[in-house]
Amino acid sequence: MPKEEFQSLDPKFAQSLVDIVACELKKNVNITDDRGVIIASFSKERVGQVHEAAAQRLTAGKIQEFSVSAEDELKLRGVRRGVNVPIIFADRCVGVIGVTGDPETAAPYARLAARFVEAALESNANREKLMIALKEKRELHTIYVNKIISIQEEERKKISRELHDETSQSLTSIIVGLRVLAEMVHSTAEREQIIRMRDLVAGTLEAVHHLAVELRPLLLDDLGLVVAAQKYVDNYSQQYQIAVDIDFVNLSREQRFSPEVEITMYRILQEALTNIAKHAQATHIQVVLRLLRYKLILTVSDNGIGFNPDFSAQPDSDKCLGIFGMKERVELFEGVFAIKSVIGKGTEIVAEIPLKQKKKKKRIW
C-alpha cells in the first residue's frame, strides 16, 4: 500500500510478521496497533488485549523505545517484562513491537524486530506501487489497442460502404452500357470484344463485392453475428472447397450483442478460417458459436496438419501475428483465448468473451 494511503497495520499481515520474528529470535513477540491494542502475538490469547504501557505512550503522542519491568508487569494490564520499540512507517508511528524477556538482553532483539517489520512494510508498499503502475500500464495499453481497433473498424466500414455504394454502382453501370453497346454493333468481332470487356468488368464487380464483405460485411451491422457468420462460412466453404459445419448453440438468428462483441467474434472467425485455408491443409472444419449464461464462446477446430503451439518456435511470422491479434482482441474484453494443436491431428481455437449481465437493474461486466 502506498505510504500516503496507509491507515493502520493489517492484523493478518502483523501476525505473519510476528510468527516469522518469533521463530527467528526464539522469543515471545507481540505487535500493537497505533492505539496500543495487541493485534498480533506469539501468545494468541493476548490478541485483542490493551497493552497499557504502549497505550499510555501512544496517547501522549511521543513514543520512544521503552522497557517493561517486573513491577510494571504486576501493575499494568496486558504487559509483560521486556522491551518495546515503536514501528515507524511513512513518518508516523503505526504501532509498537515488543519482545519479552530481560530488558537488557531483549533490547537488541526488539530493535532488530522493529527494523524488520518496517522493512517489510516498506517492501509491501513498494510492491503495491509496482502493481498499481503495472495495472495502469495494462489499462493504457488496452485503451491504446482498443482505439486502434476502433479506428481500423471505422475505416473498414467506410471503405466497405464506398465500395458497395459507389464503386459497385459505377461498375454495374459500365456493365449495362457494354451490354447495350454490344447489341448496337454489327461486327461479330467487335461484339465479342465488348462481351469480353463486359465479363472482365463483371469479374471485377464480383471481386469488389468480395473485398467489401471482407472489409466489413453489411450483414453484420444490419442482421447481426449469427447471420453474418453463417453467410461467411457458406462463402468460405464454396471458395476454398473445404467442408465446414457451423452450429449455433442457444442462439437465434435475431440474437444481437454489442457491436464491439459482434465484430470481435466475426474477426476471430475470419482470421481462424483464413489461417486454416493458408496453412492447415484441412478437409473438414467444425465451427461452434455458443451462448453459455453470460459468456459467448467461439470454437473453431480442423482436421489439418497441426503445428507447434509454441509460437516462439514458429518460423511463419504471419501465422503468429494472426494468433496474437485474435488473443489481443479477446483480452480487451478480459476474456479467455486458448489454442490447442497436435502435429498431424489438427488445431482447435477457443475464444471466450464475457457479456454484460443484468443484476438488480444494474449492468455490470
Domain ranges of the chain: 7-136, 146-213, 222-364
What's the grid cell of residue 97?
Answer: 513491537
What is the distance between the alpha carbons of residues 29 and 18, in angstroms, rounded to a whole number? 6
Beta strands in the chain (DSSP E): 29-32, 38-41, 66-68, 82-89, 92-100, 243-249, 284-292, 295-302, 336-342, 346-354, 357-359, 362-364
All cell numbers assigned to 166: 459507389
| β-pair type (243-249, 284-292) | parallel
Predicted pLDDT at 311:
57
pTM of the complete model: 0.56
Tell me what pLDDT residue 86 has: 93
Report the mean per-residue pLDDT for the chain: 86
CA-wise closest residue to 226 among 263, 251, 244: 251
Fold of 222-364: Heat Shock Protein 90 (3.30.565)
Q: Residue ranges of the chain with pLDDT lower than 50? A: 1-6, 312, 315, 359-365
Amino acid identity, position 299:
T
Quick one: fold of 7-136?
Answer: Beta-Lactamase (3.30.450)
The predicted structure's pLDDT at residue 242: 94
Q: CA triplet 176, 206, 263: central angle to 5 degrees? A: 130
Tell which residue, 225, 222, 262, 261, has the closest CA to residue 246. 225
- For residue range 169-189, what is the model confidence (pLDDT) as tens digits? 888 889 889 988 888 888 889
